Amino acid sequence: MQLTLTTLALLSASIASAAPAPIAHGPGLSSSPTFNLVYMSVGNAPKPVNCLNDIKLWYATATYPNITLTPTYSSAALFYKYASDGRIATGSSGIMFDSTGTTGAIPTRQPIELGMNNGTAGTDIMLNGSGVPTLWHENRDVLFQACMGEDGEVVLSYVKPSQRRLKECASVEMVAMCPGTKTLAMEGAQMGKPIDVPCVPQMAEWIAAGEVGNVVK
């Protein structure tokens, strides 16, 4: 299910649907050189990963060598986009996944990995059809899935075009959320100069619930 601005309860109900665009400064959106990647649970994760149904917000974090999901904001990784051909990284490690080869109906459970001083080209933050900034690859609003890892962690993996998710995994859409503080927003970029991307501002009610960090002033 594609996230909408209404589902996120972050943007005005009057915002128009947007076609994919590399960056936006529309109503309710901001932009930042760094961001968090967030999955907002819709309560339909299958039994192997039904822990995702208990907490609304899950953050991508670097559990080397993989990207995993955590409900703890203080453990969230700070990401940034660099390079003209589009790459997403945290610190000195880029997001890497196999986007080549067969596009058969069944994906693998191979986790998205972190590559030291490297990253998969064509990865970007763009607006989905509902105007929400999400993680894309090669101009596609791609599908990711969250699966239970061998050590009890929830790992993120890539689903190629034409594939369907594994039944024991949850379909997830990763939203770019503006970081908690301006100081935090300028840390961590070690693989190149960060490029501004669109992001969803944090909401005060999330702060009150202890689900995110400080609101960007």
Cα separation, 209 vs 94, whole angstroms: 31
Q: Is the dihedral of CA 41, 59, 189, 215 positive or negative?
A: positive
Sorted by where each begins, the domain ranges of the chain are: 5-10+29-208
pLDDT of residue 111: 83
Instruction: Output the pLDDT for position 27.
Output: 54
* 3-state SS class at 47: helix
Task: Give the other-Cβ count within 10 Å of 199's Cβ.
Answer: 26
Q: Is the peptide bond prior to 65 cis by the omega test (within 30 degrees of 0)?
A: yes
Q: What is the pLDDT of residue 11?
A: 31
Q: Residue 112 in contact with residue 67, Cβ under 8 Å?
A: yes
Q: How far apart are CA 184 and CA 208, in angstroms?
A: 20
Q: Which of 68, 72, 120, 126 is CA-nearest to residue 93?
A: 120
CB 34 within 8 A of CB 184: yes
- For residue 102, the model assigns a pLDDT of 52
143: which strand partners? Answer: 159
Q: What DSSP assignment string belongs to 100-143?
A: SS---SSPP-PBPEEEET---TTEEEEE-TTS-EEEEETTB--E
Q: Residue 157's beta-bridge partner residues?
A: 111, 145
CB atoms within 10 A of CB 41: 19
For 181, the token pair is 């503080």
Confidence (pLDDT) at 19: 29
What class is the 5-10+29-208 domain?
A: mainly beta
Strands 123-127 and 30-32: unpaired
Q: What is the mean pLDDT of each run of 10 residues along the chain (217 residues)?
A: 48 29 54 90 90 92 91 90 88 83 64 89 89 85 83 89 84 88 55 89 56 37
